[in-house]
Amino acid sequence: MRQDHLISARQLSRADVETVLDRAAEFDAGLDSGDPTLREHHPGEVLALAFFEPSTRTKMSFDAAMKRLGGRVVDMGGVDSSSVKKGESLADTVRVLEGYADGLVLRHPREGAATMAAEFVDVPVVNAGDGAGQHPSQTLLDLYTIRENAGLDDLTIGIIGDLKYGRTVHSLATALTEFDARMHFVSPESLRLPRSVRFDLHEAGAQLREHTDLDPVLSGLDVLYVTRIQRERFPDEDEYRKVAGQFRVDVDTLDAAADDLTVMHPLPRVDEIAPEVDETENATYFEQAQNGVPVRMALLDLLLTDE
């Protein structure tokens, strides 16, 4: 992969994705067997984590990935305990962090924040979520999980929930155009894909259909990708309440689906998937979260290695 930064899934060709996923599979096997040479990949290198929004999986799996590769991590910590609280600009913060690290992982509530940060620094920047924009490293682990469970060829996927504000959806849909997947988008009318994303998907020749109900498409799906309603991005709490809880996947939902349906979710879930689904063979979201480590190891390895 010849990229300096990973800001958007639009940067990823099919070949790039395959390079990352193949490398991730090697790291995955190495993690399973406890291969001690994994630590020889990036000894002494430092990754800076700057998360201006809450995170559990993304931040901790980047942290674990860097350490598994033999590197170290410096973490800005919460916004409340950093100089952001004193009014420091994002540009100044990232310029300073660049001096402390060999790479920077950034999450920020503002769309475009990572694009802006990448203009100010020379070390590789990974966009770990910019508002309702993009979340491309999540997409790589989603694609890895799909490849392992359903295969990326001849894929029919349903993506349900908050398609308007869900950045994991925007990135995943963009990347899936490279694989000619058939995409069914299911949401309340008010949470449809943003016009700009739809436009980009059409431009890329995507095979997509939009629905307000899952039932008509469920039985034909290989993968159902469920998302959380992004409460924090709603300008109005009443608007959130109107749509909250409208779609919930439970064991009755699975009755109408293919036996081998792969159910995914980037997590955290609130109540979109009933806990009873966790016990089924279909539930793949905890495995998906775990895939964050080998996939981010692969991504970091490719970005941090000068060739």
Annotated active-site residue 296? The verdict is: no
Tokens representing residue 170 in the block: 């925007």
Torsion of CA 199, 147, 165, 94, to 10 degrees: -100
Q: Lay out the site mask for ligand NCD across 148-187 (x = CB under 6 A, - = otherwise).
A: -------------------xx-------------------
CA distance 169 to 65: 23
Q: Do 183 and 189 touch, CB atoms closer than 8 A?
A: no
For the chain, how many residues are written? 307
User: Do 129 and 58 meet the contact criterion of CB atoms below 8 Å apart?
Assistant: yes
Cβ closest to ligand NCD, residue 135 vs residue 182: 135
CA–CA separation, 225 and 160 (whole Å): 6
Catalytic residue (choose from 23, 41, 42, 58): 58
107 noted as active-site residue: yes
Q: Is 145 considered catalytic here?
A: no
CB of 41 or CB of 228, closer to ligand NCD: 228
| Options 23, 41, 135, 182; binder of ligand NCD; rule CB under 6 A | 135
**Position 129 contacts ligand NCD (CB under 6 A):** yes
Per the CB < 8 A criterion, the answer to whether 183 and 21 are in contact is: no
Sheet holding 46-51, edge to edge: 72-75, 46-51, 103-108, 125-130
Show the binding pattern over residues 195-234: x = contacts ligand NCD (CB under 6 A), - = does not.
Answer: ---------------------------------x------
Least spacing, CB of residue 270 vs ligand NCD, in Å:
9
Is residue 8 close enough to count as binding ligand NCD by CB under 6 A? no
Residues belonging to the active site? 57-58, 86, 107, 135
Binding site for ligand NCD (CB under 6 A): 57-58, 129, 135, 138, 167-168, 228, 266-267
